[in-house]
Structure 1
Amino acid sequence: MTAFTDGQIDAPKRPWYKRIFGSGGPVIPVVRLQGVISQELKPGRLNIASVAPLLEKAFKFKKAPVIAIIVNSPGGSAVQSRLIAQRIRQLADQHEKKVLVFVEDAAASGGYFIATAGDEIIADPSSLVGSIGVIMASFGFVDAIARLGIDRRLYTAGKNKSTLDPFLPEKPEDIERIKQMELDIHDVFIDYVKSRRASKITLPDDEIYTGEFWTAKRGLGMGLVDGLGDLHGTLRERFGKDVTIKSIAPKRGLLQLPNFGLSARGDIAGDVIAKIEDREIWSRLGL
């Protein structure tokens, strides 16, 4: 399945004589990574399972001067973000290709993690970038069930098995343990960004790795992005007006529709919940 189907780039077909004799500008494959990053195989979600086949197809364009990747994501799963970024670099090294990343609305948190896998990051001046931090959220319903007169019964083996249970009071030791997990994950994020952009970032650690996000216009001076612009303009400027942009997107067929936006019967409620969760993550950026 895939988690991104909107806004695909449709490249105009070259004249027949150019297609036959191989004349004309270069063909550059483009992979769009749009949506919340999650291990769930649901519409609008990005993960290594949905992304890897598209990346592998793009890197098979042997004559392509570069591989272009569009990132439009507010973040999500730390693990899936790292797996996707890692796969991009593996393929880039294997095929000896440069990767240009183009940011649309946002490359924030896990979206920025993926963006840093590019050799260059180019964004619209109003794009949101950064948010190099970790967040975990939950709800507490202890007072609610007490007011309703509900007596909850929970049985566990292992003293910490009930951590994050929303119907139990928070325990200081649970909060401390969760905070340490966040710090561990944050360290992985910071180390990866440094491995890719340490020579470009101009601000000290305590100003750049705070979880804050900025417009790309400001991020350019901070070293978070390498340039301001858009995909079409940048590729035409660098590779000529005859450049052909080839969208690498999943094939859509009648039998594939349940995986590309239409839920299988019985899973509609799950998709509605997923969309609400996605909306909440995007809203953290004001988008």
Structure 2
Amino acid sequence: MSDNNDLRWERQVLEKLALDTLAEQRRRRRWGILFKTLGFIYLGVVLAMVADWGGEAEKLAESKRHTSLVQVAGVISAKSDASAEHVVSALQSAFESKGTAGVVLLINSPGGSPVQAGIINDEVRRLRARSPQIPVYAVVEDICASGGYYVAAAADRIYVDKASIVGSIGVLMDGFGFTGTMDKLGVERRLLTAGANKGFLDPFSPQNAQHKEHAQRMLNEIHQQFIDVVRQGRGKRLKETPEMFSGLMWTGSKSIELGLADAYGTVESVARDVIKAEDIRDYTVKPNFAEKFAQRFGADVAEGMAGALARFSLR
């Protein structure tokens, strides 16, 4: 009987120890969860405060007097970093900033789409008219040709390096003709159209004199638009010559002589000596990797489907 009582007592003690151990583990878990929750809350509050301070710092930096920089680099096209969408967005942000003392368009472009360049030019002139106290200066690095100069012409002044390439005020439309190759290969072109001119400048058909004449009229019209923009932007500073609007390009030093540019300068010198605001803030829209990949993929698909061999270009 005594042995049974001992066994029962030992069992009760073990059960009590086990239950106490389980209860202690539960309490520890609860406290652990509580402390972790409090830790996450604390971390969230700290991050929110840091973000708020960062936002305040950003606002303070923007309110401080500065030179706003917008870059136009590379070919000007709808799918490039120098698209009208990106450049216009950057310009609007620069003009909306309270601390903007002046805007510098840093241009290094061989040209591109007359439509995209025209949209940027129009927006620069609109923003200048809306905020006349904010000047816009174009600074040319290596090249400011064709569509690049179309953009620069909207600025109050254009600054260049003596070796910069400036000009190419013209329009081109390029393509290929394969009729001779097709004859040699014995290939027959079978083109069906609804509309007498739907096969306009088809590269696999003999060149049509009427189509060529119509294309030339369009080129001349766009060219005249370009000339008007340059004359409007440069005004009396322009020293016109018979070759000025022929598509030729000149060095930076010669462009100053011709009135296509105003003086030598860099972003830093213009900010320091002209705008008098050495603090430079870059408002250029820079797509991230995912956006660039999507743009490139979309462009490749569009090019493959379109198969267009002729195009207008300010290059």
TM-score for both structures, normalised by structure 1: 0.78
Q: Are 1:37 and 2:76 matched, yes or no?
A: yes
Aligned to 1:61: 97
Aligned to 2:243: 207
Structure 1 residue 50, shift from structure 2 partner: 2.3
Separation (CA, whole Å) in 2 of partners of 1:189 and 1:251:
28
Distance 1:21 1:118, change over 3 A: closer
Aligned to 1:230: 266
Aligned to 2:6: none
Aligned to 1:154: 191
Distance 1:88 1:132, change over 3 A: same
Aligned to 2:285: 250
Distance 1:265 1:166, change over 3 A: closer
Identity of aligned residues (%): 33
Separation (CA, whole Å) in 2 of partners of 1:45 and 1:21:
28
TM-score for both structures, normalised by structure 2: 0.71
Unpaired runs of 5+ residues, structure 1, are 1-17
Q: CA RMSD in A?
A: 2.9
Contact 2:68 2:101 in 1 (8 A): no
From 128, 135, 138, the counterpart of 2:172: 135
Separation (CA, whole Å) in 2 of partners of 1:57 and 1:251:
13
Moved more, 220-229 or 88-97: 88-97
Q: Deviations over 1:18-73 (max 9, x none)?
A: 99988x9831110001111223x2xx453222222111111112332211111111
- Pairs within 5 Å for 1:256-271: 256-260=288-292, 262-263=293-294, 269=300
Moved more, 52-61 or 25-34: 25-34
From 112, 117, 128, the counterpart of 2:149: 112
Separation (CA, whole Å) in 1 of partners of 2:272 and 2:296:
45
From 100, 123, 126, the counterpart of 1:90: 126
Higher helix proportion (structure 1 or 2): 2
Aligned to 1:220: 256
Structure 1 residue 98, shift from structure 2 partner: 0.8
Aligned to 1:177: 214
Separation (CA, whole Å) in 2 of partners of 1:63 and 1:25:
5
Aligned to 1:5: none
Structure 1 residue 146, shift from structure 2 partner: 2.5
Separation (CA, whole Å) in 2 of partners of 1:160 and 1:272:
23
Structure 1 residue 75, shift from structure 2 partner: 1.0
